[in-house]
Amino acid sequence: MATDIDKFVHDQLSVWPEVAAKYRALKSARTRTLPFGGMLVTLQSNPGRMPIFDHGCPLCEENYMEHQHTLPFEGRKGRKYNILVNRAPIFPNHLVITRDTHVPQTIWHRFPDMLDLAASLEHYIVFYNSPNSGTTVPGHAHFQACPMGYMPLERAADRILREIAAGREPEEVEFIGQTRDAQLYHYKRFNRGIFFLRAQTSKSMAKQFYRLLDCLNLVAEETEPRFNAFAYCSEGEYRAVVTLRSASRPSCYFESGDKHFSISPGAADMAGFVVVPEVEDFPRLDADVLRQIYEDVTLSEAQEKHLLWRLVRTQPRIEVGVSAAAQIRFEIISDGAGPQTVSYREGKIDYNGVLYDELIFEAATISTLFAEPSFILYADYGPRRYAGTLKFIAEGNQVRAVNLLGAEDYLLSVVSLYPESEQKEQAIRLRRWVTDQMARRQIGSRPVLGPELCSTPGVVTWVEHRPVQEKSPEELPAHSHYDVCADEHCQLYIGLTEKADAAARAAIDETWGQLE
């Protein structure tokens, strides 16, 4: 497709004089470098970067400029995109890849499209600005792309990922984790909050990418975390760079006089290619100003430390006996098959006429810091949604539904039923109680949940405690087929409810793994 792109850009500029002049100006644009964070940052004086907006959304077809043409690109699940020549270029062959409909800028569900685009555009790198991280059109979903090799962070990442692919791990990075064939590395230079990813398949890359985003905090009233992402293909694998940030613009953007610099960092700037749109700012931008710009928009040391902890923590799996009856209706949310039924027959579980000793429906996807619902149980009190894996066993003369999920995900549901003022205290107390209940089944140390079963990994150390009830553990009968039940005999557990709001999530997140 690269040959088609080169011809497309050439043909566009040959009939579009206003934009062609901007690309010609790039050839003589002033540049200089500044050392920062272990690399040389490129500064580009680019007054032509000021965008050309005639009216309305510039990425909607009805507002395209005269002479502006497109190349089609089809993403996953029928999503269609238009490839455009960028009206306000930073790089030669600078492209905008925009949805063919006016939908908000978001990476959710679209990162696989970004990877497919990178695979199609040989020798190009595709990049993305989240809505409050440098994009000028947050109301219309789009990516950008340019030939590889222009951005300093991109070059550093490619060198390091090549070394890793060759079996070496450079000292500039630390390995964080792996999802199937995708690896995540933390880059320890340049700025805080930089991560490199590599994977053999787009599916694994997407899972690892979304797991990283899952561990980020949302700013109030924003739809996704603040970050910039880059993706390309090289040596038969997918590679990506993610730069996390705390703000859209630096403080100097809002200053006046000599302290003012019209720099609003987007993906290129965060990758060490700083665009200076005002001519008078170019000679004044020095190492101290650059350092303050990056300091203002990147993660703080505390934020990065907390994120790294979130990325490596784990949670053990707990088994919760949810409900028992001669017949149970349930629904696996992801398979689209609708409500199904299991029933007790001859000491086994009858499912579609076949008898089973045990029936398990594994959870399929991770999408948030805490697990999303994966199945529904129907009962007289109405449908209830649950995260994690669903297991059916024969117990007595009934079928018992057992929910296998992360202990922290379980606590989220239980703690949400307490007043907000008590939730942190209850989270710690109930975590001790859960620990004891699991130990009393003498199951020892269970394997942590794999990537299909938990949302975010974390380490928990278990110690003795006093249970929630006034009775001692010895006085309270233990369950033999699961750790705890969902009734008041143990703790009331009703799955995922609207009560599991931001306050309850914060109570679990901030006390994750704490027993005292």
Helices (H), 166-251: 202-214
Show pLDDT as tens, one digit a residue, over the chain (516 residues).
Answer: 656 899 999 999 999 999 999 999 999 999 999 999 999 999 999 987 765 555 789 999 999 988 899 999 999 999 999 999 999 999 999 999 999 999 999 999 999 999 999 999 999 999 999 998 988 899 999 999 999 999 999 999 999 999 999 999 899 999 999 888 999 999 999 999 999 999 999 999 999 999 899 888 877 778 899 999 999 999 999 999 999 999 999 999 999 999 999 999 999 999 999 999 999 999 999 999 999 999 999 999 999 999 999 998 888 899 999 999 999 999 999 888 899 999 999 999 999 999 999 999 987 544 456 788 899 999 888 899 999 999 999 999 999 999 999 999 999 999 999 999 999 999 999 999 999 999 887 644 444 443 333 333 322 222 233 333 444 444 455 788 999 999 988 999 999 877 778 888 889 999 999 998
Place of tokens 């006093």: 466
Find out whether 411 and 430 touch, Cβ atoms under 8 Å: yes
> Cα–chain-centroid distance for residue 171?
25
Q: Which pLDDT score, from 0 to 100, does residue 458 have? A: 27
Gap between the Cα atoms of 92 and 403, Å rounded: 55
Instruction: Kindly calculate the radius of gyration of the chain based on its CA atoms and give it in whole angstroms.
Output: 27
* Amino acid occupying residue 333: I
The domains of the chain, with CATH numbers, are 2-310 (3.30.428.70), 313-511 (no CATH)
Find out whether 210 and 372 touch, Cβ atoms under 8 Å: no
Phi/psi at 374 (5° precision)? -120, -20
Neighbours of 4 (CB within 10 A): 12
Neighbours of 425 (CB within 10 A): 13
CA 422-426-428 angle, 5° bins: 130
pTM listed for this prediction: 0.81
Query: Strand pairing of 71-74 and 39-45?
Result: unpaired
Gap between the Cα atoms of 345 and 150, Å rounded: 67
